[in-house]
Amino acid sequence: MPAIPIDLAVRQEIRVAVHTALDAGMNLIRSAQGLRHCLDTLASLEEKASADVLAASRVLSARLICSAALAREESRGTHTRSDFPEQSKENCSMVMEPQAGGTFSIRKVLRG
């Protein structure tokens, strides 16, 4: 069984960097530009985060959350998009599916 990478210094550095990126891009009022910037920042952390399993998980989780926020082109509840201020009439959820190479796809699913 391969060793699980652990690097506590990297873990702390990534924790701070992820929180900073999310604070900047995932505010209560969001925009596509801010969310894309957040995703770019998170992507730049992936290589360093691979030195620690929890740091890598933190970056991946943040990417998933930010990607879902970018895909939702509406405002709903406290999730406000400055570029999409209206709430959609459709009642839908986002479904994320893993793809090859560590990527994922996002699709909308209408709920009844």
Residue 3, domain member (yes or no): no
- What's the CATH code of the domain at 18? 1.20.58.100
Print the domain residue range for 23. 8-110
Write out 47-88 in H/E/C secondary structure.
HHHCCCHHHHHHHHHHHHHHHHHHHCCCCECCEEECCECCCC
Read off the pTM. Answer: 0.79
Residue 109 near residue 72 (C-beta atoms within 8 A) = no
State the total domains in the chain: 1
- pLDDT tens, position by position, 47-99: 999 999 999 999 999 999 999 899 888 887 888 899 998 887 776 676 778 88
pLDDT confidence band for 111 (50 / 70 / 90): low
- pLDDT tens, position by position, 22-42: 999 998 899 999 999 999 999
